A = this chain, B = another copy of it.
Amino acid sequence: MLSDHKTYAYLIDDFLPLESAFLHISDLSIQRGYGVFDFFKVRENQPLFLDQYLNRFYGSALMMDLPVPLSEERMKSVLEQLIQMNNLPESGIKMILTGGYSPNGYELAEPNLIITQQELTLPSPEQIETGIRIITHEYVRELPRAKTINYSMGIRLMQQVKAQKADDVLYHKDGIVTEFPRSNFFLVTQDEVVVTPAKDILHGITRSNVLHLAGKHYKAEERDVTLQDIAQAKEAFMTSTTKRILPIVEVNGEPVGTGKPGPVTLHLLQELLALEETQLRVRQ
C-alpha cells in the first residue's frame, strides 16, 4: 500500500475516508452495545464466498430486529465500489449494522451501516507448522446463531489466555464444547471421523466449507463434542475466515493426539486453499 493511499469506508449512506468515519454518541452500539456484523476475505480484489457471508449478515440482522438499509443487490454494488476505491487486493471487509441513533438511548432506531476494509494478517507457515495452544472456559453466547457485536467475554478472557501462554479460549457449557470467541472448533477422532459441535454456535462460513470438504474424504459429523472427546481425539483444529484452518496441539496444557499438527488437519487446509482458488477462477 502506498503511503499516500487513502482508505475509504462506507458509513450510513456514503463513502468517506476511514479517518473521517464517526458515529454520533447516541448510536445504540455506543449506548447499549447493540449491533451485528460480518467479515469476509478479499483476494485479488474479489470477495470470497460473498453470498454465504451476506446471507448470514442479513440473517443476524433479522434475528436482532435490525432491517438492513440496503438490498443484497445494492449491498453487492456498494462492496464492489469500495473494493475498487481502496485497491487492497488481499484484505478483509467488515460490515457492522448498529441499532441506530436512538432518541432515548434504548429503543431501536433506523440502523446505521458501517463498512470498512483493512489489510489482513493470515496465519504464517510457522504458525501452521507449530499449531496453537488453547484453554477452555464455561460460557455460552446470548444468541449464538447471530453474529452480534457483543465480545465482552472474549476480550476479557484475553488476559487469561496470555497469562497461560495460550493462543485462544474454547467455550463449553457443562463440558459440551461450543466455539471460540471468533472461530469454530473441529476434532478428528481416532478412527478419522471429522467432528464439529452442532449446538449453541455461530455457523461459520469456513466451518461449513470445511465440513463439506471433509465429507468428500472422511466421515464428517455435526454433533455434541465433550471435553472428554478432545482428550481422546487424534487431531483438533479451529476454523475461521482469517485463520482458515489452524491445528490445535494443546488443550489446557494437555497435548492433543501426538501434540503435533495432524495429517487430516493439514489435508483439509490444502483442500480449503484449493476451494478458495476455485472461487477466484469462477469470477475471472
Contact = CB atoms under 8 A, between A and B. Distances in A.
A99 to B, nearest CB: 7
A70 interface: no
B152 A64 contact: yes
A116 B99 CA distance: 19
A21 B24 contact: yes
A141 to B, nearest CB: 9
Counting chain A residues whose Cβ lies within 8 A of the other chain, the interface size class is 35 or more
Contacts of A116: 25
Given A142-B152, A156-B64, A9 B33 contact: no
Top 7 A-B residue pairs of the complex, sorted by shortest distance between their CB atoms: A33-B33, A22-B22, A32-B151, A33-B149, A33-B150, A29-B30, A21-B25
A46 B29 CA distance: 29
Contact of A96 (B30, B96, B106, B142): B30
A19 B26 CA distance: 9
Number of chain copies forming the complex: 2
A237 interface: no
A114 B105 CA distance: 13
Interface string A16-38: 00010111110111111111000
Contacts of A99: 155
Contact of A30 (B23, B156, B182): B23
B108 A33 contact: no
A107 interface: yes
Contacts of A182: 106
A25 B94 CA distance: 12
Contacts of A155: 28, 32, 34, 99, 106-108
Interface string A43-77: 00000000000000000000011000000000000
Contact of A150 (B94, B108, B152, B158): B152
B30 A149 contact: yes
A183 interface: no
Given A21-B24, A30-B35, 16 more contacts: A22-B23, A25-B116, A27-B30, A29-B30, A30-B96, A30-B98, A30-B114, A32-B151, A33-B33, A33-B34, A33-B35, A64-B156, A107-B155, A107-B158, A142-B153, A143-B152
Nearest to A30: B29
A23 B22 CA distance: 5
Interface in A196-240: none
A36 to B, nearest CB: 10
A229 to B, nearest CB: 26
Nearest to A94: B105
Contact of A156 (B21, B65, B105): B65
A148 interface: yes
Indicate the member of A21, A31, A158 with the most B CB atoms within 10 Å: A31
